[in-house]
Chain A
Amino acid sequence: MTWSDLGTIAPIVAAVLVAGAILIVDMAMPGRRDAILVTSLGGLVVVGITILVQAGRTGTAFGGAYSLDNLSVFLDILFVIIAALTILFGGDYLEPRGLPLAEFAAVLMFAVTGGMLVSASTDLLLLFVALELIVLPGYMLAAFARNDGYSTEGAIKYFLLGSFSSAILLFGLAYVWGMTGTTRVDGVAAALTSQLAHGTIAPGLAMGLAFMTTGVAFKMAAVPFHYWTPDAYQGSPTPVTGYLSVGPKIGAFAIALRLFVGALGPLKADWLPIVILLAAATMTLGNLVAITQDNVKRMLAYSSIAHTGYILVGLAAYAGGQQSGLSAILFYGAAYTFMNMGAFAVVTALQRRPGVTSQITTFAGLGRRDPWLGALMTLFLLSLTGIPPLAGFWAKAYVILAAIQAGGWLTALAVLAMLNAAAAAFYYLRVVVYMYMREPADDNVPSRPSRLFRVGLAIAGVGTLIFGLFPAIVTAATNAASVFHT
């Protein structure tokens, strides 16, 4: 390791230091929530600045295992935003339940470090380690309400299936390493290209590809590897669910970009049909099951599966020869972060009082009881549905445009995606029906969220709007970030 290596990984170092600082502050000043909030949010600002300082630069560290490029900068910023929103939304949920904020923030920071590491990994082993760094804190966060049976149950399922899928992924990576003789992403790609030039691909590579696909599909909750998602999402404390629905998902797609696009790019004709099938199954099943849910958290869990399907359409479009598919994936991830975390935040706000369930009846008459919360939830749900001019609309438009450009079966996939979006309108708008068209069960005005919470809601809402009205600002960044593999 050289000093220049350290400079390249400065954001990661900063994130680890922030996590450590949170733990130290908690020891030095026990019970001081404000100190924890200042440390974590201030720390995130510092991390963000460190990332932005690197924007536009490229470089590698540790002999090519770690690459700083536009993709890593884009995803790092996204992870910082996710972490900040999670902390802003977490406080209001944890405090009334007597759950510790410091551990929450510190564990989250470690997870974010993992996310940032994944997005810059260009080595199979580092990718795997970084992935574990995302998911291990994820298990802890899922079980954060440790006296709550559902939280524990969800976390156990998440942990068991997550470990299982990690092992499968690792198995696949080992095959690839064995067949190409290198763990460097560009080395794998070069080896595959030369093998392809000789006309044969070793059968072991096909095995490796199959295992890796399975492992990554587990992590991104693609059908039929999604079974852990609904229980983990429903059981987790609501702000954690909000985090889980975006953080690890974007992490999984970062792996897909580095692994499938970067390392396995030469084989894309081989994995294209698999991704098409995964995408079609994921969005269709996710939507169909979401329709039948009466619990909003569970509904959002299934809908997040459906959104995985839409994002996979972007990956398929890339495999079909459209570079714009990658840009669409990144746009989708960013838009989804704001609108989905916003939607979970509204659920969190309603659940400030312990004992309030996330059943859809909780939302009855919300538009009257708390007009702002109702309006924001409507905004997020409309965006998730894909109504213009909101963030989610452009996300879908870019994905299906890339698919249409790729042509062939992908056009059919685009049509299927749009039919799915129409079906999704049913369950998203059902919540709006409860909020505005049904009378509340009681006249309880939900207790007013704290100021920080409202700041978080404002960020999510403004993000959803700005992405929708001025998508060109974001596409400039996603276009730049989508060119990362040489």
Chain B
Amino acid sequence: MHLPIVSLITFTPLVGALVVAVLPSRYPDAIRRTALAFALLAWVMSLGLLAAYAFGPAGFQFGETADWIPTFGIQYNVGVDGLSVLMLVLTTTLSWISILASFGPIKDRVKGYMISFLVLEVGMIGVFVALDLFLFYIYWEIVLVPMYLIIGIWGGSNRIYATMKFVLYTLVGSLLMLVAILATAFAFQSSHGGSWTGAFDFIQLQRYAAGGGFADNLQILAFLALFLAFAIKVPMFPFHTWLPDAHTEAPTAGSVILAGVLLKLGAYGLIRFAVPLYPYAAHTFAWPIIGLSVVAIVYGAIVSIVQPDLKRLVAYSSVSHMGFVTLGIFVFSATAYQGAVLQMINHGLITGGLFLLVGVVYERTHDRTIAKMGGLASKMPIWATVFGFFILASAGLPGLSGFVGEFLVFVGSFGVAPIISVSSIIVMVLAATYLLWMFQRVAFGTVTDFLTGLGGHLTDMTRVEAVTLVPLAFMIVVLGLFPSLVLDFLRTPAQAFLAAAAAVHG
């Protein structure tokens, strides 16, 4: 029996949460460090998994299976392919960075915060490794509760509205997804002599779907339910309205995880489940979804220009950037697929970094209004330099990773839909507009009275804050120069995805 490495990674943060739970709350520093230690442990193990991953064979690796609810054939069934292993590492990386970034800002109820964060990490990892639809659903819902608490307890002034909106939007989608999952499993069961064996097993379901097993109308309805759940999470236009509120009100680390990982859960769900299980429906709805993606790209960019609040601007830019991901998924080309996944990672790194940097300013000013800032470059030169770097990465500067992802989506979609492809790439100009204009207003010009009034509070970045940003910046440069580091992982998953998507009829 091999080492159950995937389960070890999944449940390390849970053990951490339990350990933190028994620590007395009068030692907040011990709690912070314990949480960080477990998150780092999970990170190190996930790097080990990344190194041990074999490029050659198709399918899933490091699989583990155990019966859970035999009556319905529901199993504890996990494993990784190139896509999930990348997402896994993104999750564990952003998790420890977020926990470290919370050391300073979170002073109240540290214990509950760290428990929430570690449980959140369990749910996120679980979503990326689950190969049983039911297990996937459970992890999907587990993510919801800690994020609800993180925004609602440690968030900004309008946090309760934001967190309820976040929960209700997500729940509507996910509960309909549950109906779709059960209907899919039941369709499998009734066509397999009434046996539930394998009815929730993704690999068997996908094989059955590839053989044209699922009826067209079941595919349409189930796909729409899954699509709704995932589109809300991504979020795609017009299901995005929870995002600016949730991002703005969440504490810094909450925004980082929200943008860095939670939005990826939706895109991952589309790639892993919605398209391969219901290829007929995916093709039927491909054009409308491509249309919505382009709307999201353009709309997100235009709305970003006029945002008065730093976090809101970054949040709306997420809508735009994630539009490239859904576009890349639904043009069904290998290049666009790789671009989409790379864009998911880039967005996690870059937007995560941007939220951290906004958080640094917020810690000192307790304000995020762009109009109140100005001349920060003179007060916080290191911060301004790093901020500029991430701004350029987000705007898609060649040589940095953001460029590669969007470029691949552009190239991949050009063959399918040249007009859409070109029009979406023009939006990169808009991205440069809103990002650089914001940077100019915040970092340059004269120091505003508001900032002068803060006096000595306006210090430059601390060492801890720098530590949270260095790994992200490093990865952005490395992936910008050597994107094949990521793309190699995606070669077999891309082929599997395209083969599954092509199985429209028999």
Hey, which bits of chain A sit against chain B, CB under 8 A?
367-368, 382, 386-389, 393, 397, 400-401, 404-405, 411, 414-415, 418-419, 421-422, 425-426, 429-430, 432-433, 436-437, 471-472, 475, 479
Extra contacts besides A426-B164, A430-B164, A436-B112 (10): CB < 8 Å? A387-B142, A387-B145, A393-B141, A401-B182, A404-B179, A411-B179, A419-B175, A419-B176, A436-B149, A471-B69
Q: Please, which residues of chain B bring their CB within 8 A of the CB of A387?
A: 141-142, 144-145
Chain B residues near A418 (CB-CB < 8 A): 175-176, 178-179
Quick check: is B389 within 8 A (CB to CB) of the other chain? no
Chain B, residue nearest A426 (CB): B168
Give residues 149-180 of B contacting A (CB, 8 Å): 149, 152-153, 159-160, 163-164, 167-168, 171-172, 175-176, 178-179
Min CB–CB distance A96 → chain B (angstroms): 30
Q: Interface digits, B374-385 against A, CB 8 Å rule (1 contact, 0 not)?
A: 000000000000
Whether B142 pairs with A388 at a CB distance below 8 angstroms is yes
Can you give 22 contacting A-B residue pairs, CB < 8 Å?
A: A382-B145, A387-B141, A388-B137, A388-B142, A389-B138, A393-B141, A400-B179, A405-B186, A411-B183, A414-B179, A415-B179, A418-B178, A421-B175, A422-B168, A422-B172, A429-B164, A432-B152, A436-B152, A436-B153, A437-B159, A472-B71, A475-B69
- Chain B residues contacting A405 (CB-CB under 8 Å) are 186
B128 contacts A by Cβ under 8 Å: no
Specify which chain A residues have a CB less than 8 angstroms from the CB of B149 in the assembled complex: 432, 436
Q: How far is the CA of A414 from the CA of B175 in the complex (A)?
A: 10
How far does the alpha carbon of A426 sit from the alpha carbon of B112 in the complex, in Å?
A: 22
Residues of A within 8 A of B178 (CB): 397, 400, 418
On whether A437 and B153 interact (CB within 8 A), knowing A387-B145, A418-B175, the answer reads yes
Nearest CB to that of A386 among chain B residues?
Answer: B175
Taking CB atoms, residues of chain A closer than 8 Å to B112 are 367, 436
CA distance in complex: A400, B185 (Å): 13
Interface presence of B68 (CB below 8 A) = yes
CB distance from B473 to the nearest CB of A (A): 35
Complex contact B182–A400 (CB within 8 A): yes
Is there an interface contact between A397 and B164, defined as CB atoms closer than 8 Å?
Answer: no
Q: Is B506 an interface residue (CB 8 A)?
A: no
Closest Cβ of chain A to B72, distance in Å, is 8
**A419: chain B residues within 8 A (beta carbon):** 172, 175-176
- Give Cα A430 to B161, complex, Å: 11
**Chain B residues, CB < 8 A from A388:** 137-138, 141-142
Q: Which residues of chain B are near A397, meaning CB under 8 Å?
A: 178, 182
If A401-B186, A426-B164 touch, does A475 touch B152 (CB 8 Å cutoff)? no
Q: Is the CB of B186 within 8 A of A425?
A: no
- Contact across chains for A425 and B137 when beta carbons are under 8 A apart: no
Instruction: Please name all residues of chain A whose beta carbon is closer than 8 Å to the beta carbon of B186 when the two chains form the complex.
Output: 401, 404-405
A-B contacts at CB below 8 angstroms, number: 81
Q: Which residue of B lies closest to A472 (CB)?
A: B69
Distance to closest chain A CB from B170 (angstroms): 9
Quick one: closest A residue to B134, CB to CB?
A: A397
Closest CB of chain A to B190's CB: distance in Å? 8
Which residues of chain B are near A433, meaning CB under 8 Å? 152, 160, 163-164
| Separation of A386 and B172 alpha carbons in the complex (Å) | 12
Is there contact, CB below 8 Å, between A479 and B179?
no
Bound Cα distance from A475 to B72, whole angstroms: 10
DSSP majority for the B interface? helix
Shortest distance between the CB of B66 and any CB in chain A (Å)? 12
B148 at interface (Cβ–Cβ under 8 A)?
A: yes
Q: How far is the CA of A248 from the CA of B286 in the complex (A)?
A: 52
Least Cβ–Cβ distance between B60 and chain A, in angstroms:
23
Q: How far is the CA of A401 from the CA of B148 in the complex (A)?
A: 27
Residues on A with beta carbons closer than 8 Å to the beta carbon of B141: 387-388, 393
Residue of chain B at shortest CB distance from A405: B186
Q: Give the residues in chain A near B152, CB-CB below 8 Å.
A: 432-433, 436-437
Q: From B137, which residue of chain A is reached at the shortest CB distance?
A: A388
Name the B residues within 8 Å of A436 (CB-CB): 112, 149, 152-153
Residue of B nearest to A411 (CB): B183
Residue of A389, A415, A437 touching B160 (CB-CB under 8 A): A437
B57 close to chain A: CB less than 8 A = no
Q: Which residues of A have CB within 8 Å of B142?
A: 387-389
Question: Is B70's CB within 8 Å of the partner chain A?
Answer: yes
- For residue A382, which residues in chain B have a CB less than 8 angstroms away from its CB? 145
Question: Chain A's nearest CB lies how many Å from the CB of B488?
Answer: 35
CA distance A64 to B21 in the complex (A): 55
Question: Complex Cα distance A195/B138, Å?
Answer: 48
Interface residues of B in 106-141 (CB under 8 A from A): 109, 112, 137-138, 141
Q: B141, B142, B175, B183 — which one has the most chain A CB atoms within 10 A of its CB?
A: B175
Binary interface encoding of chain B residues 435-456 relative to chain A, with 1 for a CB under 8 A from any of its CBs, else 0: 0000000000000000000000
In the assembled complex, which residues on chain B have CB atoms less than 8 Å from the CB atom of A386?
A: 175
Q: Which residues of B contact A389 (CB under 8 A)?
A: 138, 142
Instruction: Kindly identify, within residues 55 to 70 of chain B, every residue whose CB is under 8 Å from any CB belonging to chain A.
Output: 68-70
Complex interface: chain B residues within 8 A of A437 (CB): 152-153, 159-160, 163
Residue with the highest number of chain B CB atoms closer than 10 Å, among A414, A415, A419, A437: A437
- In the complex, A433 Cα to B152 Cα: how many Å? 7
Given contacts A387-B145, A388-B138, A415-B176, contact A425 B167 (CB under 8 A): yes
Q: Contacts of A415 on B, CB cut-off 8 Å?
A: 176, 179
- A422, A475, A479: the one contacting B175 at CB < 8 Å is A422
Residues on B with C-beta less than 8 A from A432 are 148-149, 152
Q: Which residues of A contact B71 (CB under 8 A)?
A: 472, 475, 479
**Known A382-B145, A405-B186, A436-B149: A422·B171 in contact at CB below 8 Å:** yes
- Tell me how far the C-beta of B260 lies from the nearest C-beta in chain A, rounded to whole angstroms: 23
Docked complex Cα distance between A386 and B179 (Å): 13
Determine whether the beta carbon of A472 is less than 8 Å from that of B68.
Answer: yes
CA distance A430 to B138 in the complex (A): 22
Chain B residue numbers with a CB within 8 Å of A426 are 164, 168
- Which A residue's beta carbon lies closest to that of B225? A415
A402 to chain B, nearest CB (A): 10
B345 CB to closest chain A CB (Å) equals: 28
Determine the distance from Cα of A472 to Cα of B70 in the docked complex, in whole angstroms. 7
Which B residues touch A414, using CB under 8 A?
179, 182
Partner of A429, one of B70, B109, B167: B167
Nearest-Cβ distance from residue A370 to partner chain B, whole angstroms: 14
Taken together as a complex, chains A and B put the C-alpha atoms of A241 and B154 apart, in Å, by: 34
462-495 of chain B: CB within 8 A of chain A: none
Give Cα A405–Cα B179 distance, bound, in whole angstroms: 11
In the complex, the chain B residue whose C-beta lies closest to that of A398 is: B72
Residue numbers in A under 8 Å from B163 (CB-CB): 433, 437
Which residues between 367 and 424 of chain B lie within 8 Å of chain A, taking CB atoms?
A: none
B251 → chain A closest CB, angstroms: 13
* A411: chain B residues within 8 A (beta carbon): 179, 183
B78 to chain A, nearest CB (A): 15
The chain A residue with its CB closest to the CB of B174 is A422
Residues of A within 8 A of B179 (CB): 400, 404, 411, 414-415, 418
Q: Are A404 and B182 in contact (CB under 8 A)?
A: yes
